[in-house]
Amino acid sequence: MTVKTRLAPSPTWFVHIWSLRLALYDYLFAKKNNWIYALRVEDTDQTRLVDEAFWNMVKVFEEVWIVPDEWPAPYADLWNWPYIQSERLDLYRPFIDKLIEEWNAYYCFCSSERLEALRNQQTELKLPTKYDWLCRDIPLAEAKIRIEAWERYTVRLKVPKWEKIVFEDLVRGRVEFSSSDIDDQVLLKSDWFPTYHWAVVVDDFLMKVTHVFRWVEWLSSMPKQILVAKYLWIELPKYAHLPLIVDINRKKLSKRSWDVAVEEYLKKWYLKEALLNFILFLWWNPKTTEEIFSVPEMIEKFDIKDVHKADAVFDIEKLNWMNSKYIIKTDINELFEKLDKYLAEYENDFHKDVFSKFDKQYNMKILKELQTKIKKFDEYKDLTWFLYNDANIRLDLLLSEKMWIDSLDFAKKSLKLSLDILNSRDAFTQDELKEIFIEKIKENWLKNGQVLWPTRVALSWEEFSIGAFELIGVLGIEKSRQRIGKILEQI
Ligand code: GLU
C-alpha cells in the first residue's frame, strides 16, 4: 500500500500558521518513507473565497520548501484531477445518488426561513439546534416529482437514531460518539455544491489518501464522515486530530488576524529554517536536548507517536530565539545575500537610498557586528541607521547615573581621552584598541563605563547600540574621530 497524506486548505485568505504546521507534518510523515504528500483545494464554500489566496498559498509553500508531490492543478487531464473541489462536482454526483437510492440520504425541501425559525425556537427552549426530520420520510418518487417541478432542495444524511460510533485516532486513541447527538447533516447544498462532510470522504477515497492530519476542531465531524463512508462502503483514512495553538494567555489564536499569517513571518524575515523548527517543536518532542534540526533531520526524527495531545503555546520569544540561533549559524556571505534581498523587497526606500549607496564592505562590517545580536531582519534598519546617517546630537544621553557620569564636563574629559587615543595612531586592531583604552582608563583612575559610555553615545547618538569598540570597528578611525570631535565642539 502506498501511503499518502494530504493537506486540504480552503483558500479563504492568507496561509495560517496552523496550515503550515499541518503541511509540515504531512510532508515529514510522507517523506520519511518516500510516500506522497498531496495538496487539495477545498473551495465548496464559494462565498468565502479570496481570488489570490490559492496562488499565494502555492507561493508560500514553495518558499518554505514544503512542496507537495501532487499539486491541485497541473494534472487537469487525468480523470481524478484537478484537486479543486469546485471543479470536481461531477465526480461527487454518483456517490450522493447511491446514498439517496439506498435510503441513507434524503431530499429536504425546507426553506432557509423555516430552518431559521426552527433554530430560533430551539434556542429559546434551550434545546440542541438540530433539523427536525420533517422531510426525512418523503417518499423518493414524490421528492423526484417536486424536483422536476423546480422546487429547491438540499440533500441530508440520514443519521440513525441510536448507534454507537467508534474510531481510533492516531493521537487521541479510541473516541466514541452517539448518533443521537448528531444532526442530519446537509451533504448537497441548494447551489448543488457538496458540503465539506461529503466531499472530504469522496475526495480522500478517490485520491487514495491513507493518513489525515487535521485540527482537533474537526473531531466532531468524524461521526458524520464515518457514516457517509459506511453507507458508501468506503474505507476511511487514518486520522490524527492535532491540538490547537493558543497564545501565551492560553487563548485560541485568532483565525483572521495577520499575526498568524505565514506571509507576515516571511516578510519580517524570520529565516525559513527557524520558522519550520519553531512550528515543529510546538507540538512535538524529539526527546533529545537538540533544539534545532535541518529539514532532512526533521524527516529522520519525526514520529507521530511523539506528538503532544495538549494545546501548543505560541510564544513569539521562542521563535525570536530560534531565529537568532539560525542567524548566528548562517554563513556571513549567505546572510548578507538574504539581508540584501529582504531589504530590497520589504524596506525598499532604505535599500535604495541608504544601504546600496554604501559599499558592500561597509555593509558587511555592520552585518558581522550584528550577526550575534540581531533576532530578525526587520530590526536591521533601526539598529543601524546611525551608522549610515549623521543625526542630531542628544547631549543628555551622555549623562548616566549608572555609569557615574553626572556632568557634561565630566563627559567632555572622557571624550577627550578617547579622541587622544584615536589620534595616537593611524590604525588599530580590535584587540589593540581594547588594550589601549583599558590601560588609559586605568592610568586616569576612571571606570570603564565612564569613558566607554560617552564614547559609544558620541559614535551612535543612541541610547542602545553595539559597543564602543565595535562601533569604531564599523565606522573606521577617521569617522569615529569626526563624530567625537563634533560632539566635543558642542559641549
Ligand atoms: N478544508 C478543511 C480546513 O481548511 C480541511 C479539513 C480536513 O483536513 O479534513 O480545515
> Which of ligand 1's atoms lies nearest the C-alpha of 22?
8
Domain 395-490 classification at class level: mainly alpha
4-86+245-313, CATH topology level: Rossmann fold (3.40.50)
Ligand 1 neighbour 8 (Cβ under 6 A)? yes
Residue 265 Cα to ligand 1 midpoint, Å, equals 23
- Ligand 1 pocket test: pick from 200, 213, 217, 236 the residue with the most ligand atoms within 8 Å of its Cβ: 200
Residue 217 Cα to ligand 1 midpoint, Å, equals 10
What's the 3-state SS for the chain? CCCEEEECCCCCCCCEHHHHHHHHHHHHHHHCCCCEEEECECCCCHHHCCCCHHHHHHHHHHHCCCCCCECCCCCCCCCCCCCEHHHCHHHHHHHHHHHHHCCCEEEECCCHHHHHHHHHHHHHCCCCCCCCCCCCCCCHHHHHHHHHCCCCCEEEECCCCCCEEEEEECCCEEEEEEHHHCCCCEEECCCCCECHHHHHHHHHHHCCCCEEEEEHHHHHHHHHHHHHHHHHCCCCCEEEEECCEECCCCCECCCCCHHHEHHHHHHCCCCHHHHHHHHHHHHECCCCCCCCCCHHHHHHHCCHHHECCCCEECCHHHHHHHHHHHHHHCCHHHHHHHHHHHHHHHCHHHHHHCHHHCCHHHHHHHHHHHCCCCCCHHHHHHHHHHHHCCCCCCHHHHCECCCCECCHHHHHHHHHHHHHHHHCCCCCCHHHHHHHHHHHHHHCCCCHHHHHHHHHHHHHCCCCCCCHHHHHHHHCHHHHHHHHHHHHHHC
- Ligand 1 pocket test: pick from 29, 42, 225 the residue with the most ligand atoms within 8 Å of its Cβ: 42
Ligand 1 neighbour 203 (Cβ under 6 A)? no
Nearest CA to ligand 1 atom 5: 8
Residue 195 Cα to ligand 1 midpoint, Å, equals 12
Ligand 1 neighbour 21 (Cβ under 6 A)? no
Nearest CA to ligand 1 atom 3: 9
What number does CATH give the domain 88-242? 3.40.50.620
Domain residue ranges in the chain:
4-86+245-313, 88-242, 331-381, 395-490
Residue 350 Cα to ligand 1 midpoint, Å, equals 41
pLDDT in 10s for each residue of the chain, 491 residues? 688 999 998 887 788 888 898 999 999 999 887 788 888 888 887 777 777 788 888 888 888 888 888 877 654 444 556 888 888 899 999 999 999 999 999 999 999 999 999 999 999 999 999 999 999 999 999 999 999 999 999 999 999 999 999 999 998 999 999 999 999 999 999 988 999 999 999 999 999 999 999 989 899 999 999 999 999 999 999 999 998 888 878 787 766 666 788 888 887 778 888 999 998 888 776 666 677 788 888 898 888 888 888 888 888 888 899 899 989 999 999 999 989 988 998 899 999 999 999 999 999 999 999 999 899 888 999 889 889 987 777 788 898 888 888 899 999 999 999 999 999 988 888 899 999 999 999 999 999 999 999 999 999 988 888 899 999 999 999 999 999 999 999 88
| pTM as predicted | 0.79
* Same-fold call for 4-86+245-313 versus 88-242: yes
Ligand 1 neighbour 43 (Cβ under 6 A)? no
Residue 8 Cα to ligand 1 midpoint, Å, equals 5
Residue 238 Cα to ligand 1 midpoint, Å, equals 15
